[in-house]
Chains A and B, each alone.
Chain A
Amino acid sequence: MPSTGKLRVIRRVNLLISAALLAIATISPAFAGWGMPDPITDQAKRIQDLWVFTLIIALAVFFAVEGALLYAIIRYRKRGDELPKQTHGSTALEIVWTSIPVLIVIALFSYSFIVLRDVEKKAPEDALSVDVTGFQFSWEFVYSLNDLGTNTDPNADGQISIIGTAAQEPTLVIPVGEPVEFRLKSNDVIHAFYVPNFHYKLDVVPGRDNRFVITANETGEFTGSVRSCAG
């Protein structure tokens, strides 16, 4: 009887779905930031929003397609010697399922375009800037106290330089709530400047003037990483 077969399938699919939900509920504490570390800059917040948006669409596609696949595997397994109807395709269906991904692409692209424009906004004229030089295998940070307004000795040029070594990473302190521009320089190979809590990285390319801006919104100590074989 086909109807009981269908019922059994539905029950099985239900079972699978509840198992999946249970699994998600058990591990979800690990997903507090939807898998991403705490965003500590305004820009990172925007990127995290985009990540969550993309993730939701991704999960929807994932469950829809894997669900259809599981359904087909269970429902259409061979039951007898009768040949299935030989359908060769359907232009209407092809048009429909070409349009679905096109719509998803437009949505994803539009939102990521907006976020891209926002996180790449140029720094205001008076923003604090930090010159970063990458070398193998650490960083040098140079910034001016005049920019910060904390230069107490008017005769000094107020340049502060912090040089790290391979063993001792340099520590850079930046103010909260105002834009800071990082200007990246390298004299040897390509490095990448990456702080996971910024959700951002930018390559430090010999011969290129790469810059980015962040506005920190949280205090704390965060580790970045030195990457010399970016790829």
Chain B
Amino acid sequence: MTSIAIPRPAYAERPWILDWLMTVDHKKLGILYLYTTMFFFAVGGILALLVRTQLAVADNTFVNNDAYNQIFTMHASAMLFLFIIPVWAGFGNYIVPLQIGAADMAFPRINALSFWLIPPAGLLMFSGFLFGGAADAGWTAYSPLARGSGVGLDLWIISVIILGVSSTIGAANFMVTMFRMRAPGMTMFRMPIFCWTMLVTAVLQLLATPVLASALAMLYIDRNFGGSFFDPNGGGNAILWQNIFWFYSHPAVYIMILPGMGIISEVLPVFARKPLFGYKAFVFATMGIGGLGFSVWAHHMFTTGAVLKPWFGFMTFMIGVPTGVKMFNWLGTLWRGSITFEAPMLFALGFLSMFLIGGINGTFSAAVPVDFAIHDTYFVVAHIHYVLFGGAVFAVFAGLYYWFPKIWGRRLDERLARIHFALQFIGFNLAFFPMHLLGLDGMPRRIATYSESSGWETLNLISTIGAFLIGVAMIPFIINVVMAFLRPKDQPNDPWEANTLEWWTTSPPPVHNFDSLPEVHSERPLWDLRHGKTAH
């Protein structure tokens, strides 16, 4: 047995509120992460509804141009930097130590720091609204344009740097945890697939996030100390920002989706009652996506005329290969299985069907001449939402329904979950499918309004109706959670008959996680216990 010194929180001594504020327990921090990020999901969602309200009809004057720029910028920034990236750290915090049979993360205090950087950074970013206007240059803050925008952008820069620090130290923590603290018998290739995706994500964060920080620092210097990194009139380069920004932000797309793929790969085997088809192929495909992710950044820059188009087009197509391998492995997992459709599985299947579209409509941008037509139009907005909403957000809900019994000791109601799923699935497609057609017809993204003569009104109205349907879909979810909290904790250790170690301990687990650990002989230790090692 290995033993690791971990500062144990002195419980029962502190009042409830101090206990949460001062905790270094990965489970409590994980819960804090989840609450905080779901809060920003709601904020980002409300901003999205403002965007859609403005675009519902032609020549709308619901908000003016300046306000619109702030709203869509903050929508995207909140969704990416304050919701989807840290929400995986939230799941990872709670689940990774449990899945590898550890008592906590490797560095509990650094873990607490990672979390506590997020709320102030979020407030800072949004405080722009109080100081003459929030950031308004898009989440991409393209320079030279962004050199000239208001003070809200400075707050945004500082906030994003702080969030970057949070995820960088968090990444180091996850890596050390998974390398050093796995249960006896758990080799790397017996580690649950969610852990693997968190590990690759952590590597990407460690390599990419500092690059973003450097770009942000340069932009801050340009704006405040007379620098001219991005100003050709002062000897700088107008394309430099895009190169550095996308060198971070393309890998960041995988930071936003890989852990979601991990969750899906936990859920499918449990509810199809089969192991993940091609576990090793899946791990290598994840690494492949991570590696290729660093060689495609300029596919965002084909229309600058400043990049080697065939190379970046080719590499972008190539990412389709490991992604395709994953898709086939997921299908292989379902094939000849014995499938049931509890809530986590519904959202996992929603992920498979919608993320597929996000993968397919992305390849159009890899065909460089087609990208000339669709770049910077609503086609791209459709693409990112099929990936980030149809993919990542469906995975977030799969994870929430799946681990809710473990984290909070209660099970969410299946009927309400089905209503939630149906509304979200329909609303999502209504909101985002029409955007393909709008983009092809030339509707540029990031415009505050469009004229009636454009002929874009009907599709935009449909999209807005879909967006509000997504909003409505959250009502049964919230009711479900509130009702669950009103019930006593009643969940057994392993309500789903699952495979991995988090289901070995109680729901919720004790402070120290495990009183004992089973032997680990495969990536499904609990399955082995239930059915015997021979049932492989």
Please list the residues of chain A having a beta carbon within 8 angstroms of any beta carbon in chain B. 30, 35-37, 46-47, 50-51, 54-55, 58, 61-62, 65-66, 68-69, 72-73, 76-80, 82-90, 93-94, 97-98, 100-102, 104-105, 108-109, 111-113, 115-116, 119, 187-190, 192, 194, 196, 199-203, 205-208, 210, 225, 227-231
Contact = CB atoms under 8 A, between A and B. Distances in A.
A228 B145 contact: yes
B304 A203 contact: yes
Interface in B29-81: 69
A229 B141 CA distance: 9
Contact of B334 (A47, A73, A79, A231): A73
Interface string B354-367: 00110011011011
B339 A51 contact: no
Contacts of B364: 51, 54-55, 58
B368 interface: yes
Interface stretch (B215-223, B322-330, B417-425): B322-330
Interface string B108-151: 00000000000000000000000000000110101011001000
Helix, strand, loop or mixed for chain B's interface?
Answer: helix
B320 A105 contact: yes
A83 B367 CA distance: 45
B337 interface: yes
Contact of B317 (A109, A119, A200): A109
Nearest to B149: A229
Contacts of A58: 360-361, 363-364
Contacts of B349: 69, 73
Interface in B297-331: 303-306, 309-310, 313-314, 317-318, 320-321, 323-325, 327-329, 331
Contacts of B353: 66, 69
A85 B360 CA distance: 32
Contacts of B313: 109, 112-113, 116
B446 interface: yes
B324 A97 contact: yes
A105 B399 CA distance: 32
Given A76-B272, A87-B274, A54 B370 contact: yes
A116 B367 CA distance: 9
Contacts of B20: none
Contacts of A73: 334, 339, 349
B185 interface: no
B145 A94 contact: no
* Chain B CB within 10 A, most for which of A46, A87, A187: A87
A46 B142 contact: no
Contacts of A69: 331, 334, 349, 352-353, 356
Contacts of B309: 116
Interface stretch (B153-161, B277-285, B408-416, B471-479): B277-285
A80 B336 CA distance: 13
A228 B65 CA distance: 13
Contacts of B280: 89
Given A51-B373, A116-B368, A190-B238, A205 B436 contact: no
Given A76-B338, A101-B325, A203-B305, A86 B331 contact: no
B238 A87 contact: no
Closest 4 CB pairs of A and B: A196-B442, A207-B232, A101-B324, A89-B278
B275 interface: yes
B441 interface: yes
Given A229-B137, A230-B376, A231-B140, A46 B305 contact: no
B437 A30 contact: yes
A105 B318 contact: yes
Contacts of B273: 78, 83-84
Given A51-B364, A196-B442, 15 more contacts: A37-B441, A47-B369, A47-B370, A65-B331, A69-B356, A77-B339, A78-B338, A85-B274, A94-B325, A101-B324, A105-B320, A108-B363, A109-B313, A190-B145, A230-B303
